[in-house]
Structure 1
Amino acid sequence: MDKNLLGNNVIAQIGILVHDIEKTSQVYAEFFGMMKPEWSLTDAVDKAKTEYKSEPTEARAKLAFFDMGSLQLELIEPDEHPSTWREHLNEHGEGPHHIAFFIKGMEEKVKLLELNGMALTQKGEYTGGRYAYMDTFKELKVMVELLENDN
């Protein structure tokens, strides 16, 4: 395997799958002594261009973010449409789903990871950037999310 596939080793985010974002975000807020963040809904497929296993999907998720200094904690409550979130929640239950890294050169990074046996599972766009989930579960015991912002 190539060394330092991502070009950095700073974890930007930890994503946790949940069944009830309202309840879980309240528990996290109380635990950390923080305000409970409002959740937001991911964009629809026409804007997000979401693909799961190389096919367009209507999948959406409720997201709540806790900014924890240099790290962001993301709670994810997926809908029932096919997605990496739904599949992982169904198979493994609530808990950690991914660690995310900011990268530059999304297409090149995805190809490099694929050459190293880590398949692209899901990708999409958000306002100001794009994301890709790579199937690193076998190797790393968690998925890796690549985040590339436009600015």
Structure 2
Amino acid sequence: MVNYALGNNVITQIGLLVHDIEKTSRAYADFFGVDKPQWFWTDEAEKAKTEHRGKPTEARAKLAFFNMGSLQLELIEPDRNPSTWRESLDSNGEGFHHIAFVIEGMKEKISLLEAGGMPLLQKGEYTGGRYAYMDTFKDLKLLIELLEKDR
């Protein structure tokens, strides 16, 4: 058994895919009795450098975040361009997409997981860091997102 040792076993985030971020954000805000967060677009391709299944993509998504104590709930409404978000929404419908962990050493962690048969699905940059979605479904029955913050 391979020890993947992400260096952190604290789930930071749960990601959900939605068709209508405005409507779903309102539903969550009302349910929890909190302010509805303002959604925003992910960065454009030139800045995000998004790759899906090893190829550059123009994919963007609307994101809204609910900070729920030690856990963040992320709502994701993808555009129509190729992405793990679009694939999952089209195949599985709305709902669960990933759990995320904050890590250090993105390249090394990706290599370690890939060596264990958990391929990189999508990666990109955002202001303040980078992310990678790893296909851990075969073994873990879900997708893992790795988040690395700039130092």
8 Å contact 1:49–1:125 — kept in the other structure? yes
Q: CA deviation at 1:138?
A: 2.2
| 1:31 aligned residue | 31
**How do residues 2-151 of structure 1 correspond to structure 2 at under 5 angstroms?**
2-151=2-151
The code of the aligned residue for 1:17 comes to: L
TM-score between the two structures when normalised by the length of structure 2: 0.98
Runs of 4+ aligned structure 1 residues displaced above 4 Å come to none
> Deviation at 1:57?
0.2
Amino acid at match of 1:74: E
| Residue type of the alignment partner of 2:134 | M
Answer yes or no: is the 8 Å Cα contact 2:41–2:61 preserved in 1. yes
Which one-letter code corresponds to 2:50 in the other structure? T
Any unmatched runs of 5+ in structure 2?
none
Letter in 1 for 2:138: K
Residues 5, 113 of structure 1: 8 Å contact kept: no
Amino acid at match of 1:147: L
- RMSD of the TM alignment (CA)? 0.8
- Number of residue pairs matched by the alignment: 151
SS at match of 1:148: strand
Q: Which runs of 5+ in 1 are unaligned?
A: none
Sequence identity percentage: 71
Quote how far apart the aligned CAs of 1:79 are.
Answer: 0.3
Distance 1:139 1:84 in 2: 18
What is the letter of the counterpart of residue 83 of structure 1? S
CA distance in 2, matches of 1:111, 1:5: 12
